[in-house]
Amino acid sequence: MKHKIYDTIYKGKIGAKKAFAVLIDPDKLDDSTLLKTIEIAIQSNVDYFFVGGSLVVTDTLDKVVTTIKNKSSIPVILFPGSPDQITPKADALLYLSLISGRNPELLIGQHVISAPFVKQSGLEIIPVGYMLVDGGTPTTVSYISNTNPIPANKNDIASCTAMAGEMLGLKLIYMDAGSGAKQAITTSMIQQVAKYIHIPLIIGGGITTAEKAKENCLAGADIIVVGNAVEKDPALIKDIAAAIHSLNA
Ligand code: 1GP
């Protein structure tokens, strides 16, 4: 089993080195915006590209990953909304189990069906406890996954869910308010979850400013994911990266 990317993420956590992942939804970026985003990401020392979406309706996944790999050395990690969003051209796959929900298909069912294909891909597989948190608006992911998010003020449910995920052997916890969330996850929930787990914590959903990204890192996030806001304004990548990396000095 490959574990290079995970080792880097884990070492980052141990060394309190905060990281920034730019989320690319292959459906949403035209060629020139993708190239511009890659260029700014390189200049800003972005740590990872996450690629995927809850509903990828075009067949551009392969092309987008190939373009990123050709133009940069930033690791590309698949963040798939469904088992068909997989390409061996990426570096790693977030193998998501939706532990905040009670939909057996997304806890284990789809994994069973796609297991041979996933294994054959040769990708580094990173088992992730994926937790949806209410971001104040129904998101594509909550609709598609047919699950209820964790209520935004229920920190205990979040920390117990994350602890259970860690004890089940998952290697990362990804708390997500959903793409385009009205309200990002609260810092108090991040603090509580970070306090109770030892594996790296990824936070995403509705983060639109450098200040918020930094605040989340100070609360205990190890990796911040931003999609929507940098899709609208790729120049924001520079500010968010600088804010997150300023904590590593
Ligand atoms: C969504 O965590 C990601 O799954 C990022 O969310 O698009 O709102 O930044 P945004």
Write the DSSP assignment of 75-106 as a string of letters.
Answer: -EEE--SSTT---TTSSEEEEEEETTS--HII
Query: Ligand 1: which of 134, 176, 183, 201 to mutate, judged by most atoms within 8 Å of the beta carbon?
Result: 176
Give the number of other CB atoms < 10 A from CB of residue 33: 13
Provide the pLDDT for residue 49. 98
Crossing angle of helices 61-71 and 31-43, in 10° steps, is 40
Tokens 């929930």 identify what position? 189
Nearest CA to ligand 1 atom 2: 204
Query: Quick one: which atom of ligand 1 is closest to the CA of 204?
Result: 2
Q: What pLDDT digit, counting tens, does each position of 5-59 carry?
A: 999 999 999 999 999 999 999 988 899 999 999 999 999 999 999 999 866 666 7
Q: If you measure from the C-alpha of residue 20 to the centroid of ligand 1, how many angstroms do you get, rounded to a whole number?
A: 12
Q: How far is the CA of 226 from the centre of ligand 1 (A)?
A: 5
- Ligand 1 atom with the shortest distance to the CA of 228: 7
Distances in Å between the alpha carbon of 159 and those of 100, 153, 189, 222?
Answer: 11, 12, 8, 16
The ligand 1 atom nearest the CA atom of 229: 9
Contact 114, 150 (CB under 8 A): no
Top mutation candidate among 207, 222, 231 for ligand 1, by most atoms within 8 Å of CB = 207
**141 pLDDT above the threshold of 90:** no
- Ligand 1 atom closest to the Cα of residue 174 is 2
Rounded mean pLDDT of 171-196? Answer: 97
Q: Considering the entire predicted model, what is its pTM?
A: 0.97
Q: Structurally, what CATH architecture does the domain formed by 4-248 represent?
A: Alpha-Beta Barrel (3.20)
Residues in contact with ligand 1 by the CB-under-6-Å rule are 23, 176, 179-181, 204-207, 225-229
> Could you tell me whether strands 172-176 and 48-51 are parallel, antiparallel, or unpaired per DSSP bridges?
unpaired
Q: What is the rounded distance in angstroms from the CA atom of residue 198 to the CA atom of residue 203?
A: 15
| pLDDT value for 57 | 66
pLDDT of residue 162: 99
Does residue 225 register a pLDDT over 90? yes
- Spell out a b/e string for 59-92, using b for 16 or more CB atoms within 10 Å of the CB, else e: ebbeebbebbbeeeebbbbbbbbeeebbbebbbb
Contacts of 212 (CB under 8 A, 6+ apart): 184
Question: Residue 176 Cα, ligand 1 centroid: separation in angstroms?
Answer: 7
